[in-house]
Structure 1
Amino acid sequence: MFGTIFNTVMIIAGSIIGGIFKKGIKDEYQDILMQAMGFAAVALGINAITQHLPDSKYPILFIVSLAIGGLLGQIINLELRFNKLVNKFSKSNLAEGLSTAVLLFCIGSLSILGPVEAALHGDYTYLLTNGMLDGITSIVLASTFGFGIAAAAIVLFV
């Protein structure tokens, strides 16, 4: 539970900081921060795969799961359905930012791997790392979409 609380606090703190800098962070700085956070997430994901996939009893399941999940999402047009749901509740750009934040903070690879590692091995490394990534990302999102991005922390906590 510690990792989840830390992550929630980081998102709220990042949203406060980003709200203070509303429209004050230049686009090129936002871009580089998002690229850096994306690169960090990819590097951590590759590290996790190279560490744990060789120990897996069913390594092919990873590849098959990605392929089937991607195809099913495309077949049922999941992205369009999600966007329609978000737009149903709000016409402002906050809905776009909040949907991005919820997806990023709640279903990212570290958001899934972190709790699993914490529960199985008592290792909070991924959860704490994810909290830092989410904190910085929430600064960027809140500087663009406003403090409302902090609502994603509630979804994450629940």
Structure 2
Amino acid sequence: MFIGLGTVANVVTVAVGSVIGLLFGSRIPERTRQLITATLGLVTLVLGISSAGSIGSTALAGVVGKGGLLVVIGALLVGGLIGSALRIEQRLEGAADWLRSKIADDEDSGRFVDAVVTPTLLFCVGPLTILGSLSDGLGRGADQLLVKSLLDGFAAIAFAASLGYGVLFSAVLVGVLQGGLTLLAFALGDFLSLAQIDALTATGGVILMALSLRLLQLKQIPVGDMLPALLLAPVIVAGAAALLH
């Protein structure tokens, strides 16, 4: 096998799942499509809660003691301020809307934007994305990404059936992000400690919970603006380690 196999498999399963969803989605009644989206929201909530549990990990506690929650809160607050200042959410939606205007201007704008942005966030923010990409890049195997590929493939079927063909473009973004992380790990080796990965995973879990509220149509949280928190969480842990040890 080769380094990057996991990302290739993930891109293929998302693309194939999207095509399957598009082929059969028109035969699904609207109420069923809404139920599918709500189900994805509930599953995303469960994944988010599970990932957020890394706040209490032994590795993170070994660096920051009982301050794991403070690390996550700090990363989310500062990251949210940065993301809001950079208008990341607005830029993501603008890019998706630009893509819609180039491909099919008659497509419903809001629906197409949701079809691109929402699956991309779900596929790219979860812990398996980070851990799997790093493991693949370090030559430890693509098992985690292969499992993620299967899960994302089924999710892509559901998303495409309920939101439309914009979901196809999330496959490209998955390839760019996961491929980039894999190459980074290949070039730099173990550049994140276990404590940093746990902080990143917990922060990603909270972002997934925010995304689930959007899928459940309970609250339109600008999840894109929260993305800088994923970069800040490991930095805060590294800073805490330097100060406390």
4-13 vs 125-134, greater mean Cα deviation: 125-134
Q: Map Cα deviations across residues 26-85 of structure 1 (whole Å, 9 max, x no partner).
A: 134313431343034224413555446436635564443232112211233321232223
Deviation at 1:22, TM superposition (A): 1.7
Structure 1 residue ranges without an equivalent (≥5) = none
Q: What is the TM-score normalised by the length of structure 1?
A: 0.75
Deviation at 1:142, TM superposition (A): 0.8
Match of 1:127 in 2: 145
Match of 1:77 among 59, 83, 87: 87
Structure 2 residue 108 is matched with structure 1 residue 90: no
| Superposition RMSD in Å | 3.0
Structure 2 residue 33 is matched with structure 1 residue 27: yes
Q: In the aligned structure 1, how far is the partner of 2:97 from the partner of 2:34?
A: 28
Contact 2:21 / 2:159 at 8 angstroms: preserved in 1? yes
Q: Map Cα deviations across residues 80-134 of structure 1 (whole Å, 9 max, x no partner).
A: 2322232233243334312323333234443223212444582645423432332
- Larger RCO: 1 or 2 (CA < 8 Å, sep 6+): 1
Q: In the aligned structure 1, how far is the partner of 2:42 from the partner of 2:71?
A: 29
21-30 vs 8-17, greater mean Cα deviation: 21-30
Structure 2 residue ranges without an equivalent (≥5) = 102-106, 177-245
Q: What is the TM-score normalised by the length of structure 2?
A: 0.52
Alignment of 1:9-158 (within 5 A): 9-23=12-26, 24=28, 26-46=32-52, 48-51=54-57, 53-54=59-60, 57=63, 59=68, 61-91=71-101, 92=107, 93-120=111-138, 122=140, 124=142, 126-158=144-176
Q: In the aligned structure 2, how far is the partner of 1:48 from the partner of 1:123?
A: 23
Q: In the aligned structure 1, how far is the partner of 2:51 from the partner of 2:129?
A: 11
Percent of counterpart pairs with the same letter?
A: 25
Q: In the aligned structure 2, how far is the partner of 1:124 from the partner of 1:56?
A: 28
